[in-house]
Amino acid sequence: MASRSGHPAGPSADPGAAAAGLRAGRHCGREETRRLVDGVLEGGIDPAALGPWLVALADLGESADEIAGAADALRARMLTLPRVPGTAAGAVAASARSASASPPKPQQVCRSHWRRGSEVA
């Protein structure tokens, strides 16, 4: 069975053991870090139990694998929002696609959207 993050469900990493490893100078791997962050985000690990691991991680310094593992867990939960034409995000995205046009100033986008919104209402 897969976890909500889409990764195979497995035992949550033990934050106490991970913190002890860090204090001994051993970094966590990418997968262990992903399981730790997944565990907190899914409710299987109490966030307070992760505190000693975070302190030990800050003391030792994060490794590339630890950063990537945390990013993997967070990216698995990202929501993709649609771009809606006529909104600030849609206007900026449309202008960014045009090689000759520079992005509109925020106040131009907001005024344009406000006018269009007020005409509909």
pTM of the model: 0.60
| 8-state DSSP, 8 | B
100 vs 102: CA distance, rounded Å: 7
pLDDT of residue 115: 47
Structural domains for the chain: 15-75 (1.20.970.10), 88-120 (no CATH)
Neighbours of 45 (CB within 10 A): 20
Q: What is the pLDDT of residue 80?
A: 81
pLDDT given at position 90:
57
Following DSSP, what letter does each residue of 17-80 receive, concatenated? HHHHHHHTT-PPPHHHHHHHHHHHHHTSS-HHHHHHHHHHHHHH---HHHHHHHHHHHHTTPPP
- The series of mean pLDDT values per 10 residues for the chain, 121 residues long, is 49 85 94 94 90 94 95 91 70 54 51 46 38
